Chains A and B, each alone.
Chain A
């Protein structure tokens, strides 16, 4: 409930200032028209404009106060419903998810209650105001399923939300649900279906207050799709093109990001770093990751922090600095463990293990890689490859050399930046 009270605060001050403004403009108009009357013998347009402004202000403040009282009444009625209570609780835990303030507990809570919440959603025929509560529970569950990750559940959830949105005629929710379905399809590996869903989402895009956020979300999702394509393509022009497309989408997303959305800022920076990594530009990746890490740390977002650290490790490895890479990955693994983000944890252990395989320390490698495979929720080709190598059942995997990545443009840009920096 505390959030809603916070939301109420500014609106109350606004209404107060509106009322004061109305009184003040009325008084001022009166005064001016009297003065004008004394000196020129006419009041004319000034009086007209002044009184109409006053009337307008009075009308606006009246309308606002009336709608607020209505909202408050409705809220009192809702508070009794179980859906509302569940939505409140789920939202609290969603906020805690992945942070240093109860990240672990949140993961535990979601593990315990996800079935209950799903059941509640499935049985609820949400109407009018209850749709908001319904959507809030969906938001919370989405965050959880993406984090876990559990694409099947995410897909079902988005379908549930689509049905509700259609029956209640909320275009914004349908738009969001389509974008979520795209995420689910991408996680399942069906990139074409994901693209279709994104198209659906942008076709029904509404002009609400969340329009910018949804547009940005679609752009990020498109970028992730391009990255997934790049991941599948063998090194070459297809891959380069997909990476460049991702980059374009992320630049767009950056420009459409709504001001207060800091989590999105971190996510975009991390994705840009991934783009740089695919372009074998470790330094460029670090330039994105440093601010992302700082922002995530300031926000107490352990998950984002861990993700940034993990990629910093990859960048360090790319720059032939295995020692730094190892310590980054260890740090990231620790943070992932703290918020119980198993997939991230597993990835870090896998990086460490495969690095150990390369270093020839096969016992340590086997230990790490087996831990990693226990934590994982999905199969990974790379993990299997290195696990086999660690078990001495197969040869060491051979990896092609890094392509030369000193493209003239990035080189030029960096030289220029150094030059400009030197002028300061």
Chain B
């Protein structure tokens, strides 16, 4: 009984609240709302054009109506919708394969040694580069295309890989090559976060093999599976540049996806209402996927389980025996070799002279040299490099300055619950919005403002497009602060900086992840620059694309440009990959 202190028992009583209940609502400090102002202004860059597009889509000659959506009855549009749905299946397949690979590397830890970097490199290079690489590999002439050459040697003849129907194989392998590294790394982090004692306990119960995967790993990985599936499905629905570069022009109609269909309608001068309707349909699909996917991933559940106490090393998983380790290395090495092969092809092609690269495959020894790089430099590669650097750096800086306070506001600024949820919903929808949704009005606005070809405008658009994802990621990092401290900070005694200090362990990796991913994304970007900027900015990918139009004659310079363009993101990703993954799965490690 009582409170014993300093040699005395004291009776301490609390205080009740009595009398008539006071009318009114909780008062929240208004200051933090200012933190969201820059984000609001930046988001307007997207929100207003999106609004314009939606209005255009619903406006017909005789007022408002659904007349424009008749465009969906068009067979080519229907075909595009079907292809987009197929791409979603491809995304699910990639997630499944990635999960199996992650499981393999978890059971055989030695696999990771070689496999990890090999998987990261494709994720770092742009879709355009991976598309160009796969086009090189699958080239229909046996003198140049690796796969064609191999199958001709083996079976005497070879199908035309880039022909009708078969180009899907090329497309899917390019997509999988790019994304599998991301999937495997995230799943692997999730698997590593499963406490060993749980695994051991469930194994001791006699639950092994597939039953263990179903009983333990799949349910525990559900949140992270949600994040991964969401990313991949959205990437699949937004596929645009891959088809543009891989599929030869004559067959592009049959490979049509919604984004491409939209682009063709705008460039051929179609009715703006109809193209807007196409954009809205694409947007509706993606937004629905995004909202459904994120619904289950509210604040607490997005974060991985946090290990508070570092586990006793003697209780950790036993190190595999030497033989198993050797075996793991071997498998890892073999898979890594296969995985790195497209990059080898790319570099080898770049090291041939333009003429030789056009005539022979990457394996021939004639015409080795740096003349392809010289040819690429002649078409303005280095100016584009500089331009891209400026744009990417500016976009990343603007993004960080604006996203951090906004994420803090959303996580702990004391927003009313409903407003917070609405803000999150808007961010999720914005994060998945396809560029087609705002490209046309934004380009018109930039042209009208006389900013066509301005790097600043492009950087701002990039920052605005990256903002929602950055806020979502940083918010889940901030959300790991103890609630008691936060409520103190909101109401008085503690300072907000104290809250920041407690979450720095989780928000620093998230910050690095945001910065690295945004930089790489802007660096590799094709679609925003292609659809929005004028000719003056010349980012790298536009130069690449311009060259790739005459693919068969200019494969040397294209490969050289692709190599140069990929060096920076690959180095960046390889050096920060561990932190990036940690930031993406906030708080999975102590």
Chain A residues in the interface with B (C-beta under 8 A): 91, 94, 135-136, 139-140, 142-143, 146-147, 176, 183, 209-210, 212-214, 216-217, 220-221, 223-224, 227, 231-232, 235, 247-248, 251-252, 254-261, 263-264, 266-267, 270-271, 274, 277-278, 280, 287-288, 291, 304, 307, 311, 314, 317-318, 320, 347, 350-351, 354-355, 358, 380-383, 385-386, 397, 399-400, 402, 413, 416-417, 420
Contacts and interface: CB of A to CB of B under 8 A. Distances in A.
Which 10 A-B residue pairs are closest in the complex by CB-CB distance?
A: A259-B27, A258-B24, A213-B21, A210-B21, A261-B22, A143-B18, A139-B20, A251-B487, A267-B15, A209-B23
Contacts of B497: 416, 420
B75 interface: no
Contact of A399 (B4, B19, B414): B4
Given A261-B24, A277-B3, A255 B490 contact: yes
A311 B498 contact: no
Contacts of B12: 231, 274, 277-278, 311, 314
Contacts of A288: 493
A19 B2 CA distance: 62
Given A142-B18, A261-B22, A399-B4, A382 B498 contact: no
Given A318-B5, A417-B494, A417-B495, A227 B14 contact: yes
Contacts of A380: 11
Interface string B147-172: 00000000000000000000000000
A220 B17 contact: yes
Contact of A212 (B17, B26, B487, B494): B26
A258 B10 contact: no
Given A247-B484, A264-B22, A420-B497, A270 B15 contact: yes
Given A136-B20, A210-B23, A354 B1 contact: no
Given A220-B16, A271-B14, A248 B484 contact: yes
Nearest to A144: B18
Contacts of B483: 248, 251
Contact of B11 (A140, A287, A350, A402): A350
Contacts of A270: 14-15
Contacts of A400: 4
B495 A263 contact: no
B484 A224 contact: no
A40 B337 CA distance: 73
Contacts of B7: 358, 399
Interface string B396-433: 00000000000000000010000000000000000000
B449 interface: no
14 contacts: A227-B14, A256-B26, A258-B25, A270-B14, A274-B13, A277-B3, A277-B12, A280-B5, A314-B5, A314-B10, A320-B6, A350-B11, A416-B497, A417-B498
Contacts of B11: 347, 350-351, 380, 382-383
B9 interface: yes
A231 B26 CA distance: 31
A413 B486 CA distance: 13
Contacts of B18: 139, 142-143, 146-147
B590 interface: no
B495 A212 contact: no
Given A183-B16, A270-B15, A271-B15, A354 B22 contact: no
Nearest to A343: B13
B16 A255 contact: no
Contact of A258 (B1, B4, B6, B23): B23
Q: Is the interface of B mostly helix, strand, loop or mixed?
A: loop
Nearest to A98: B18
A263 B15 CA distance: 10
A136 B497 CA distance: 44
Interface string B422-461: 0000000000000000000000000000000000000000
B35 interface: no
B494 A413 contact: yes
B8 interface: yes
A292 to B, nearest CB: 9
B492 interface: yes
A258 B9 contact: no
Given A318-B5, A354-B9, 5 more contacts: A136-B20, A210-B23, A231-B2, A267-B17, A351-B10
A311 B491 CA distance: 21
Contacts of B25: 212, 258-259
A220 B495 CA distance: 24
B501 interface: yes
Contacts of B490: 255
Contacts of B485: 413
A358 B27 CA distance: 46
Contacts of A146: 16, 18
B5 A381 contact: no
Contacts of B491: 254-255
Contact of B14 (A143, A209, A223, A257): A223
A277 B20 CA distance: 29
Contacts of A176: 21
Nearest to A232: B1
Nearest to A215: B26
A217 B18 CA distance: 9
B15 A209 contact: no
A258 B26 CA distance: 4
A259 B15 contact: no
Contacts of B22: 210, 213, 258, 260-261, 264
Contacts of B27: 257-259
Contact of B15 (A142, A212, A235, A307): A307
A264 B10 contact: no
A287 B3 contact: no
Nearest to A320: B6
Contacts of B15: 266-267, 270-271, 304, 307
Interface string B464-502: 000000000000000000011101101111110110010
A388 B305 CA distance: 54
A93 to B, nearest CB: 11
A261 to B, nearest CB: 4
Contact of A318 (B6, B16, B493, B498): B6
Contacts of B484: 247-248, 251
A317 B5 CA distance: 8
B24 A221 contact: no
Contacts of A216: 17
A260 B20 CA distance: 13
Contacts of B5: 277, 280, 314, 317-318, 399, 402
Given A213-B24, A251-B484, A264 B1 contact: no
Nearest to B414: A255
B498 A217 contact: no
A278 B11 CA distance: 11
Contacts of A213: 21-24
Most buried by A among B2, B3, B12, B21: B21
A424 B379 CA distance: 56
